[in-house]
């Protein structure tokens, strides 16, 4: 208290008794009473919040994280009434929503149920799904969260991001010049051992226990306690896979086109035979006469029948839209991941998507046969 009063005498900053509390751990009742009398501060009780983060002497329960869920839902509710493109929604998720979750993810391992709830909220907002309803989507959330060079939208997947943020603290605990927090832990928490040999103990705070869990998972994957080996494993291989190099070059040139990939020596199919096989399979399914397979001709044919509301016209337009999307997705998969789907398999996938779409929009869709 003399130090606090001395600090207040020259800084003008006094401790506010109404906003200051004393928290005890392992202190006898007599000493506790003496401290409370000497300071004049009331005794605080766990759990309490510091900078919005719940602090507790034991592991936090799932209910403690309801505050985070509420903040995210309120933020999205504020933006739900604003018309935004998919690019705008991605910006909201990366800047606003994950800005709220980052602070929590950097303190401890969040329960998987909480992370799944947050991912569900973000996924519904991205696809504009109303609460309590379901909507057919054409891409999994795992694919949406991939990096841009792998065909995703650079949205952080919170389960992996939570571990990555804690791995940063693990790195700090392993380096001598990493700050006062790391030096204090090495001096008082594990003075006679390394962070790589540390095991979870009841007296450790939840944040340190979370770091140890991430450390154990890293060691289980690498099988080594060498810091160089471990962090090389975290950073990934020095030489990127060929499809990632191709995607990076295309992104730098801002021309992710077939011509650019061919000029780089990447062997891909630079013909439309695959698209023709897909469309011909769908034409047979729709019992249409032989088509030209030219995109302009097919689009003009769709425009001419755009005002017709018979279920067969809706069927044909849905087939064309689904074919364009799946062919585009298939080409991305071949370029960036080397994955190839046979035409007959892709035709069946398109059929299933169109059937579900028609069944959801009109009962007459039940008339469609395999």
Comparing CA positions, the residue from 108, 101, 60 lying closest to residue 207 is 108
Q: Are residues 227 and 263 in the same domain?
A: no
Residue 35 and residue 96 in one domain: no
Residues 258 and 306 in one domain: no
In a domain? residue 50: no
**172 and 144: one domain?**
no
Question: What's the pLDDT score for residue 237?
Answer: 38
- Is 86 part of any domain? yes
- What is the CB neighbour count within 10 angstroms for residue 185? 20
Question: Nearest 5°: CA angle at 93, between 92 and 97?
Answer: 100
102 and 41 in a single domain? The answer is: no
Give pLDDT tens digits along the chain (370 positions).
889 889 989 888 888 888 888 988 888 999 999 999 998 889 988 777 777 777 776 677 777 788 888 888 888 777 766 677 777 888 888 877 777 888 888 888 888 888 888 888 888 888 877 776 777 776 777 888 887 777 778 788 888 888 888 888 888 888 766 678 888 888 888 888 888 888 888 888 888 888 899 888 888 877 655 544 444 444 443 333 434 433 433 343 444 455 555 555 554 544 456 788 888 888 888 877 766 666 667 667 666 666 566 677 778 778 888 888 888 888 877 776 777 888 888 889 888 888 887 777 654 444 444 4
- Report the C-alpha gap between 180 and 169 in whole angstroms: 12
Q: Are strands 53-55 and 48-50 parallel, antiparallel or unpaired?
A: antiparallel
Whether 57 is in a domain gets the answer no
Beta bridge partners of 53: 50
Residue 58 lies in a domain: no
* Distances from the Cα of 272 to the Cα of 225, 291, 292, 327, angstroms: 52, 15, 13, 10
pLDDT of amino acid 32:
92
Tell me: do 226 and 253 sit in the same domain.
no
- Verify that 149 and 76 share a domain, yes or no: yes
Residue 56 lies in a domain: no
- Please report whether residue 318 resides in a domain: yes
Residue 43: strand pairing partners: 22
Q: Judging by beta carbons within 10 Å of its beta carbon (0-12, 13-18, 19+), is residue 158 exposed, middle or buried?
A: buried
pLDDT (0 to 100) of residue 104: 84
Please state, in angstroms and rounded to a whole number, the distance separating the CA atoms of residues 204 and 310.
Answer: 68
Average pLDDT, the chain: 75
CB atoms inside a 10 Å sphere around CB 245: 14
**Domain limit, last residue, from 136, 156, 176:** 156
Yes or no: say if 365 and 311 are a contact pair by the CB < 8 Å rule.
yes
User: Do 95 and 27 lie in a common domain?
Assistant: no
Same domain, 97 and 180: no
Domain membership flag for residue 53: no
Are 35 and 105 members of one domain?
no
Do 143 and 171 fall within a single domain?
A: no
Asked if 224 and 278 sit in the same domain, the reply is no
Structural domains counted in the chain:
5
| 257 CB-near residues (< 8 Å, 6+ apart) | 250
Question: Pick from 235, 259, 284: which residue ends a domain?
Answer: 235
Residue 76 lies in a domain: yes
Residue 343 belongs to what domain range?
A: 273-367
């Amino acid at each position: 208290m003399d130090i606090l009063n001395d600090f207040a005498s020259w800084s003008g900053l006094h401790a506010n008794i109404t906003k200051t509390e004393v928290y005890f751990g392992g202190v006898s009742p007599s000493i506790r009473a003496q401290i409370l009398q000497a300071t004049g501060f009331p005794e605080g009780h766990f759990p309490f919040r510091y900078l919005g983060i719940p602090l507790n002497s034991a592991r936090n329960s799932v209910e403690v994280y309801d505050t985070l869920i509420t903040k995210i839902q309120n933020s999205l509710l504020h933006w739900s009434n604003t018309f935004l493109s998919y690019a705008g929604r991605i910006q909201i998720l990366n800047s606003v929503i994950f800005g709220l979750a980052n602070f929590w993810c950097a303190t401890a391992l969040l329960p998987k149920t909480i992370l799944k709830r947050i991912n569900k909220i973000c996924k519904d907002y991205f696809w504009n799904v109303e609460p309590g309803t379901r909507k057919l989507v054409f891409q999994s959330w795992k694919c949406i969260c991939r990096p841009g060079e792998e065909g995703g939208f650079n949205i952080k997947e919170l389960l992996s991001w939570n571990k990555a943020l804690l791995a940063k603290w693990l790195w700090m605990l392993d380096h001598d010049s990493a700050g006062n927090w790391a030096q204090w832990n090495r001096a008082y928490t594990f003075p006679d051992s390394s962070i790589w040999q540390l095991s979870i103990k009841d007296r450790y705070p939840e944040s340190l226990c979370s770091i140890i869990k991430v450390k154990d998972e890293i060691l289980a994957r690498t099988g080594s306690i060498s810091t160089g080996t471990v962090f090389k494993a975290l950073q990934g291989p020095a030489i990127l896979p060929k499809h990632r190099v191709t995607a990076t070059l295309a992104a730098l040139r801002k021309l992710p086109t077939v011509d650019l990939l061919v000029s780089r020596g990447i062997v891909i199919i630079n013909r439309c035979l695959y698209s023709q096989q897909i469309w011909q399979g769908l034409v047979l399914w729709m019992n249409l006469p032989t088509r030209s397979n030219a995109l302009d001709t097919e689009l003009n044919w769709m425009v001419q029948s755009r005002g017709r509301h018979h279920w067969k016209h809706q069927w044909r337009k849905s087939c064309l839209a689904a074919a364009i999307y799946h062919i585009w997705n298939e080409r991305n998969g071949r370029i960036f991941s080397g994955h190839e789907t046979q035409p007959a398999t892709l035709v069946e996938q398109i059929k299933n998507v169109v059937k579900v779409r028609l069944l959801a929009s009109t009962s007459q869709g039940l008339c469609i046969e395999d």
